[in-house]
Amino acid sequence: MDRPAAAAAVAAAVAAAGCEGGGGPNPGPAGGRRPPRAAGGATAGSRQPSVETLDSPTGSHVEWCKQLIAATISSQISGSVTSENVSRDYKNIHKARQRLALRDGNKLAQMEEAPLFPGESIKAIVKDVMYICPFMGAVSGTLTVTDFKLYFKNVERDPHFILDVPLGVISRVEKIGAQSHGDNSCGIEIVCKDMRNLRLAYKQEEQSKLGIFENLNKHAFPLSNGQALFAFSYKEKFSINGWKVYDPVSEYKRQGLPNESWKISKINNNYEFCDTYPAVIVVPTSVKDDDLSKVAAFRAKGRVPVLSWIHPESQATITRCSQPLVGPNDKRCKEDEKYLQTIMDANAQSHKLIIFDARQNSVADTNKTKGGGYESESVYPNAELVFLEIHNIHVMRESLRKLKEIVYPSIDEARWLSNVDGTHWLEYIRMLLAGAVRIADKIESGKTSVVVHCSDGWDRTAQLTSLAMLMLDSYYRTIKGFEILIEKEWISFGHRFALRVGHGNDNHADADRSPIFLQFIDCVWQMTRQFPSAFEFNELFLITILDHLYSCLFGTFLCNCEQQRFKEDIYAKTVSLWSYINSQLDEFSNPFFVNYENHVLYPVASLSHLELWVNYYVRWNPRMRPQGSVLCIPVLGGSSRTPTQMLFAGSRTDEVHKVSCVPVLGPSSYKLFYLEVWGWGSPSPCFHIEVVERHVEIVSGLWCIDPDGPTVEAGAPLKKGEFAPPRHTFSL
């Protein structure tokens, strides 16, 4: 059957569903409003509710998809399209789905226990539990508590409902309700670290209530109960050993180190020099160990300035450390002053050193009265001190608490923007990005070496150095490179993951908890939004990292420093998160990645260019969750298909983070594809290939671009001078 007839068939199905021009329930910026239904549907003055107004996140969208798929199948197989054919094909598909659902339901009915990981064991099973869902109401089912997760499965088979929560994400468990009447008179509230709260109600059997409450407290907080984290019991085997991803000597060698100015020092081999630093550090070649020890005595926690990254051409460096212990009497250390001068001298292209203090100036002054402080420009004559005015961990913790309040369980649409603004979350993200951009610019454009520190050098310092390195070095924008960046700047250099996250600890109000690493990942996501083809990894990769930051399934983020990890035998007794990720790279790869080697990324650190990461922070709200791409039936015998017709062949309905096909497009059409499909942060929920083609053609006409010009692989690098930040290319 020819294309016009097929298009007519699709249009007929779309018209029956109440959509104009095949645009679907939410056609996007290129689609118009839907006209009233034709005869046989609703009255002329009525309209189907939009996706945004439906109580269910699926609703009419699913019905529209079913009719569209049925029409497509009919148009390609039967050669003639009638309403009877469409209806008959739809009924056949519906019956097949019912049989499949029944078969799967029978299989599920046979599963009396929750699925378990290797090494996982069940600790309690309680029936007649009510999950109080804030979106769909009370759901009755069976609750299983293992040493790794809370697993709830509803009694009814339709709709099937499963709640699967790793115990590591639980921050607090509290008893709630104590009425004297009713079957569900008591229960518990579970406060989670991943932006959601859970409520479970029970019948009055006291034993059941205590069994769940006690088991949750025991296994969600194992360290507080004298037990080991589940990561030590997890026995999954992967084909790749993630612990071998990062080798410090190899990474420094990649950077061209050691060289005549910098050496790999063994002074911290036994962690006696600095117990929170890695065993392998890079320091100036001319500095002796005795002098280095004196510098350590002058720096908080002994965290002396050490090299993180060196520019391959100018030799400008990023070094990181902690604050100097100047104190209220302006104490000096000649060895420290000489040390910073040596760092500056290692870069022959500049006679200046920029010291970026991440803290607020007022806070640094307060620290000075407590024995800390900052470098005085009069004492360090060739240094320039810059305060980045970034707030401390307590302010960030409070900001995240406010953010959680406005995104879960309900969202005030009328005050959404003002509520987000009131959390200051995006403002703090902006400050981090702005600080990192200043560091990167001094290195790249100013060819000037920089020293970065906060108070102790393991929170804001890690945020700034890793973000600046991500902007400067394209290697860190690959999957392996990003894993190495985390291993190096965060894990090996002693970011206190155990304290900041609270792994296995029941002290919900611990003042050491703070979303420092979450902010870093958020900043990375903001960069991927502005430079969508510059990163090899996708959004799912970032979300997976955050999920397992809390889960305690892997050993990657456990403990506070490298010394503790060796003491706990983390590398031998637990599995690396990178083993899991690197064994299925296709799931986490960005199909639009273009390896812009030697390109420095300068994201726009402005609130006008930043956005709340809805796919992470609001993902538990089904009314805000992006709908997955529709499974579109490929045109049979499609040798004559244009590149835009091939876009969604093979797309899957169960994934919102990626499409499973890489389009083959010309450079201009590739950019248009991003505009049409990825402008909403995930595949558009209802774009059929014909619709995408129509939209691309419309925009092509406006831009005077041939949408089906010479075809090249999407990943092919652009010509010299053609690279531009995507913010100038796409209207997001």
Q: Which residues are catalytic?
A: 454
Which is nearest to 499 in space by CA: 484, 514, 478, 486?
514
CA distance 423 to 610: 14
Token pair for 434: 């702005």
**Which residues lie closer than 8 Å to 123 by C-beta, 6 or more apart?**
145, 146, 147, 215, 218, 219
CA distance 308 to 317: 7
Q: Per the annotation, does 370 bind a ligand?
A: yes
**Which residues lie closer than 8 Å to 25 by C-beta, 6 or more apart?**
19, 48, 50, 51, 60, 61, 64, 685, 686
Q: Per the annotation, does 369 bind a ligand?
A: yes
Token pair for 596: 């812009």
Provide the residue type at 221 as one letter: F
Q: Per the annotation, does 460 bind a ligand?
A: yes
Q: Per the annotation, does 671 bind a ligand?
A: no
Token pair for 446: 């100013």
**Which residues lie closer than 8 Å to 259 by C-beta, 6 or more apart?**
none
3-class DSSP state for residue 157? coil
**Cβ-contact 612, 640 below 8 angstroms:** no
CA distance 295 to 338: 10
CA quadruple 388, 389, 394, 397: dihedral sign? negative
* Residue entry with tokens 């924008």: 477
Q: Is the peptide bond before 115 cis (omega within 30 degrees of 0)?
A: no
Beta-strand pair 449-453/353-357: parallel
Token pair for 603: 């994201």
Q: Provide, for the chain, the percentages of residues in helix, strand and coil under a 3-state DSSP scheme, each rounded to the nearest 5.
A: 40, 15, 45
Residues in the chain: 732
CA distance 368 to 378: 16
CA distance 293 to 274: 10
Q: Per the annotation, does 329 bind a ligand?
A: no
Q: Per the annotation, does 392 bind a ligand?
A: yes
CA distance 680 to 362: 41
**Which residues lie closer than 8 Å to 204 by C-beta, 6 or more apart?**
183, 185, 186
Token pair for 231: 């990561």
**Which residues lie closer than 8 Å to 142 by C-beta, 6 or more apart?**
125, 126, 127, 129, 152, 153, 155
Phi, psi of 137 (to 5 degrees): 85, -165
Q: Per the annotation, does 393 bind a ligand?
A: yes
Provide the residue type at 355 as one letter: I
**Which residues lie closer than 8 Å to 106 by C-beta, 6 or more apart?**
none
User: What is the rounded (10 degree) CA torsion for 236, 238, 243, 246?
Assistant: -150
Q: Per the annotation, does 83 bind a ligand?
A: no
Q: Per the annotation, does 529 bind a ligand?
A: no
Q: Per the annotation, does 26 bind a ligand?
A: no
Sheet holding 162-166, edge to edge: 162-166, 149-154, 137-146, 122-133, 197-202, 186-192, 170-178
Beta-strand pair 170-178/122-133: unpaired
Q: Per the annotation, does 652 bind a ligand?
A: no
3-class DSSP state for residue 357? strand
CA quadruple 420, 422, 428, 430: dihedral sign? positive
Longest dimension (CA), the chain: 91
Provide the residue type at 56 as one letter: S
**Cβ-contact 543, 495 below 8 angstroms:** no
Packing angle of the helix pair 334-345, 289-298 (nearest 10 deg): 110
Please report, in range form, the residues annotated as the binding site. 367-370, 392-393, 454-460
Please report, in range form, the residues annotated as the binding site for substrate. 367-370, 392-393, 454-460
